[in-house]
Amino acid sequence: MSRFIKGCVVGGLLCVLLTGGWFWIWRSSAQEDGTTSVSQLMLSEQVSVSEKPVKSIEERIVGAQEKSSKIKAVYMTAPIANDQGPGAARLRQQLIQLAETTEINGIVIDVKEVCGPEFNPVHLKKLIAELREKNIWAIARIVVFKDASQTAAHPEWYLTRSNRNTAGDECARKRYLRVSGTSDPEQINFWQDKKGGYWLDPASTDVRAYIASHAKTIIDLGFDELQFDYIRFPSDGDVAQAIYPAWDGKTPKYTVMRDFSSFLSDALKTHKPEIILSADLFGYTALRAGDVGIGQRLDDIGNAFDYISFMVYPSHYYSGFVVPMDHARGLPALHYTVAQARTHPDAVVERSLYSAQDFLDSRIGTSTLATSTTRRVRLRPWLEDFFHEEDRLAHRPFGAQKVRMQIEGAERATPHGWILWNSANLYTADALKKE
């Protein structure tokens, strides 16, 4: 038996030597006669990959503008985007499946809400990779000046008041988002809005740097677009009692917002020239050219962003909806009560967008990016996909009919898409076209 084993070993060695010698001869002859060896093929493949042409900055910008031009998206909350539990995973996959089977081709994901930044970079990168693989546009929603997370770390950034605030804490259940610091927030008379929210001073250079730094972090996660909300001064509560650490009270609020928007756009476009930037504005802002008291003016915001997303929710026009006759389009003047606005959701959306676009066309030209490529602000509205029992009881449009009417109104006014809002991550699939 031992001789047999020795014979096998010797025979195996001879086979290896013969095979190796044959391969060496073949490799040498291949190099001599000009044919390609296996190693050469592998090297050639590596070289071809490394020689893949790199797009110029202008090409990347144009490509991003084209991809973003017709986005139809839904909104996803931060917990659903980041939580790895079965419930969140199920809702997350439902939204992705909605994008795979209907006209939806984008998802807006919360990364910073009124209580502060809320995201897990590992989980979020994984989600973004999945969205990119499925050709779904990824938008990060960032709440700007309403932010409770820095009250202990940087109380000097916040609006305060002379006496104690009796409002509750809107973010009491999310105290884990607050950054620790040496200050005790309980000993500071912070100004709070009606909901108990905390506000940063928009004029503070440190606050602006904080917002820009956070946004750059989000860009580096791989998002296609950043969408900024609450780019404004507070609108409710005893605003007259607010003490600002940086704003002098004399500089117009719209000037402060214009300067901030310009600073933010320049900083982020320098960081990544092709990143798409959008801003959320109140629906009323679409109907009024001037500042409504919170620093938001169309011409200021429009010059700094690629898209404006008006929240043209028909149920939110609490003072009614009024627009003049549109002679150019042959459309009548509208004087809707609150109930009438909810009865005609398509007209509310359409006429709001026409009003805003006409103003922008007359006031805003083009803005220079970090390169010679120019851009012009586009409109992509927020639409409501949430249920109102009173609409059903009053025989007004509700459910799929209401959502579809808004979509049709938006598409008559702008070719650049729309976004559906539902804070529970549940959408009316029957209102969407199947694809």
Residue pLDDT tens, the chain, 435 long = 444 444 444 444 433 333 444 333 334 443 334 444 444 434 444 444 445 689 999 999 999 999 999 999 999 999 999 999 999 999 999 999 999 999 999 999 999 999 999 999 999 999 999 999 999 999 999 999 999 999 999 999 999 999 987 789 999 999 999 999 988 888 899 999 999 999 999 999 999 999 999 999 999 999 999 999 999 999 999 999 999 999 999 999 999 999 999 999 999 999 999 999 999 999 988 887 677 789 998 888 888 999 999 999 999 999 999 999 999 999 999 999 999 999 999 999 999 999 999 988 886 444 333 333 444 799 999 999 998 899 999 999 999 999 999 999 999 999 999 999 999 999 999 999 999
C-alpha–C-alpha distance, residues 45 and 38, integer Å: 11
- Specify the pLDDT at position 391: 93
Alpha carbon distances (Å) from 299 to 173, 232, 287, 359, 378? 38, 14, 13, 8, 12
Let me know if residue 294 belongs to a domain.
yes
Closest CA to 317 of 291, 352, 290: 352
- Specify the pLDDT at position 361: 84
What φ, ψ does residue 100 adopt, rounded to 5°?
A: -80, -20
- Specify the pLDDT at position 147: 99
- Specify the pLDDT at position 51: 59
User: How many of the other CB atoms lie within 10 Å of CB of 340?
Assistant: 17
Let me know if residue 366 belongs to a domain.
yes
- Residue bearing tokens 């609108």: 235
Let me know if residue 238 belongs to a domain.
yes
Let me know if residue 179 belongs to a domain.
no
Let me know if residue 328 belongs to a domain.
no
- Specify the pLDDT at position 164: 84
The domain spanning residue 363 has which CATH number?
3.20.20.80
Let me know if residue 206 belongs to a domain.
yes
pTM: 0.85
List the domain range (segments joined by +) for residue 262.
57-145+201-316+346-431
Structural domains counted in the chain: 1
Q: For residue 348, how far is the Cα from the chain centroid? A: 24
Torsion-angle region of 360 (φ positive above 0: left; ψ -120 to 50: alpha; else: beta) = alpha
Closest CA to 309 of 420, 409, 392: 420
Let me know if residue 82 belongs to a domain.
yes
Let me know if residue 130 belongs to a domain.
yes
User: How many of the other CB atoms lie within 10 Å of CB of 357?
Assistant: 18
